[in-house]
Each structure stands twice: as C-alpha cells, then as structure tokens.
Amino acid sequence: MFVDSHAHIDGTEFDSDRGEVIQRARDAGVSAILNIGTGDPHSGALERAVELAEAHADIYTAIGVHPHDARLFDDAAEQLIIKLRTQSSRVIAWGEIGLDFHYDNSPRDVQMKVFQRQLHLAGEANLPVIIHTREAEAETIKILKSHGVGGNPPGIMHCFSGSSWLAQQAIELGFYLSFSGIVTFKKAEELRTIAKQVPLDRLLIETDCPFLAPVPYRGKRNEPAYVVEVARCLADLHGMSVAEMGRITAANFARMFRL
Ligand SMILES: [Zn+2]
Ligand SMILES: [Zn+2]
C-alpha cells in the first residue's frame, strides 16, 4: 500500500491515457493519490481537479494558487476555492501555495502576499496546506511563523529538496516532509542524508508527476505508479522493506487528513 501524496494527473499530459495511468497505479499497490489542482484559477483548472477526485474513490484533491500564478490571485479566485471546498468533501488540502524564487514567474512581493493570504484562509477553513518552496527557505519559514501554518495539523512541505535547517524548522512547526523522485537521483547524496534523519512519523512520498520521474524512469513522463521507487529509496535509507515504508507513509497520510 502506497500513497502518492502529490501528483498532477488532471493536466493535459495525461489526457490520452489518464484511465490507464490510474489503473497502473492501482496495480502497483497505490491506494490513494492526492492530485493537486494548479494553474490559472480563472481557467477552469481547479474545477477540473475537483471533478477528477469526485470521479474516483481513491483520488483526493488539493486546490490553491501556486506561487507561479500568484499574480492571478484575486477575490474571485479566493471565493472559488472556498466554494469548491464547501461543495466537495474530496478537497482535503489548500495548495500548493508558497514561494518560488527560482523561476520568479510572479513578482516576489506578490508571491509573499498571496502566500500569506492563502495561509490565513486555510487556517480559517482548518485545512492542511501543501507548501511549495524553492530558493526561498528563510522567507518561507518567516511567513509561516508570522502568518500561521494553515490547519491543524499544518500540512506538507512537498517535493522536499531543501537544507537540513529547513527540514528542522518545518518539523518543529508540525509539518510532514514529502520526498519525490529527486531523492533517488545519483547526485542527491545530501538530500538522502536529510531524508534519513526525518522522523518516520513525518515522512511522506510523492511523484509530483508528470515531472521528476525517479530512477530508473528518470527522463520519462512520471506517473503515480512510480511512487514505489521513492518508497524503495527511503526504505533503504531507513533500513526496512519497501512494503513497510509504504505502510508507514500511507498511515502518515491517513492520519494527517483524518481519512
Ligand atoms: Zn510544487
Ligand atoms: Zn506540484
């Protein structure tokens, strides 16, 4: 039993074979997928993510405005997310939200404002948040400490690839750390050292598909079935079987979202 705690399978990359992708995940032992709705909130992207989760008992969804799209966040987007979340019990998290100072697709001051606003709203809705942070560790922690951490429990630092300082801060704030295929990459020695030190009850696994396919699929389109390879890598680090790592991370996911 494995849970892919971060996937983007509502996107066009999967339009031609989404059903088969979902079936392959089930065949690989993936019992649940958290699909993340992102993109322009005025384009129908968030509604599409909710529809996908409504159609499958083993798919849940998070919706929010990604830091890339922060410049598109407005009152209408805010009202839409609240409405969708009220209408559908399949919406279990607010995200992904955060800061991305690597791509800077939205101005940094706008990213920070929109991150703060969505943290506040997630807190009001008591929804865990999915945090995306890249090259903005200090700013991310500062905002979490000053504007609240979302729901209770706070949520997930997704696709964790930060420093041991960030890991420590996030754990102290109550976050779970989710590792992606990056942890399997040959050059990710430092990240594996950090992953080894994360308490077992705070570990999660994800694909972040269609990107970041783990070894041995690196370079291909990623899909939820491949989350097993992330579990295998973490299992080796923690000295246990892949099945046991699957069970532990699936139990963590269920506990966080009270499923
Ligand atoms: Zn992300
Ligand atoms: Zn994502």
DSSP 13-32: GGTTTHHHHHHHHHHTTEEE
Cβ(22)–Cβ(9) below 8 Å:
yes
Here the tokens at position 183 are 């942890």
Each residue's pLDDT tens digit, 88-136: 999 999 999 999 999 999 999 999 999 999 999 999 999 999 999 999 9
Each residue's pLDDT tens digit, 149-208: 988 899 999 999 999 999 999 999 999 999 999 999 999 999 999 999 999 999 999 999
Here the tokens at position 88 are 């559908």
Each residue's pLDDT tens digit, 220-235: 999 999 999 999 999 9
pLDDT of residue 151: 86
Say how far apart CA 254 and CA 259 lie, in whole Å.
5
Residue 238 CA to ligand 2 center (angstroms) comes to: 25
Residue 158 CA to ligand 1 center (angstroms) comes to: 6
Residue 212 CA to ligand 2 center (angstroms) comes to: 10
Say how far apart CA 63 and CA 48 lie, in whole Å.
10
Say how far apart CA 33 and CA 9 lie, in whole Å.
9
Q: First vs last Cα of the chain: how many Å apart?
A: 15
Q: Does the reported pTM lie above 0.85?
A: yes
- Supply φ then ψ for residue 34, to 5 degrees: -100, 105
**Mean pLDDT score, 46-64:** 98
Q: Nearest CA to 38 among 209, 213, 156?
A: 209
Query: Does 141 score more than 90 pLDDT?
Result: yes
**Per-chain residues with Cβ under 5 A from ion ligand 2:** 36
Beta carbons within 8 Å of 205's beta carbon, 6+ residues apart: 2, 3, 4, 5, 178, 179, 180, 227, 230, 231, 234, 245, 249
Proximal ligand: closest to the CA of 208: 2
Say how far apart CA 176 and CA 40 lie, in whole Å.
27
Residue 78 CA to ligand 1 center (angstroms) comes to: 19
pLDDT of residue 149: 92
Proximal ligand: closest to the CA of 67: 1
Say how far apart CA 96 and CA 133 lie, in whole Å.
10
Residue 252 CA to ligand 1 center (angstroms) comes to: 20
**Mean pLDDT score, 213-225:** 97
- Encoded amino acid at 37, one letter: G
Each residue's pLDDT tens digit, 36-53: 999 999 999 999 999 999
Proximal ligand: closest to the CA of 5: 2
Each residue's pLDDT tens digit, 4-22: 999 999 999 999 999 999 9
Say how far apart CA 56 and CA 142 lie, in whole Å.
37
Proximal ligand: closest to the CA of 100: 1
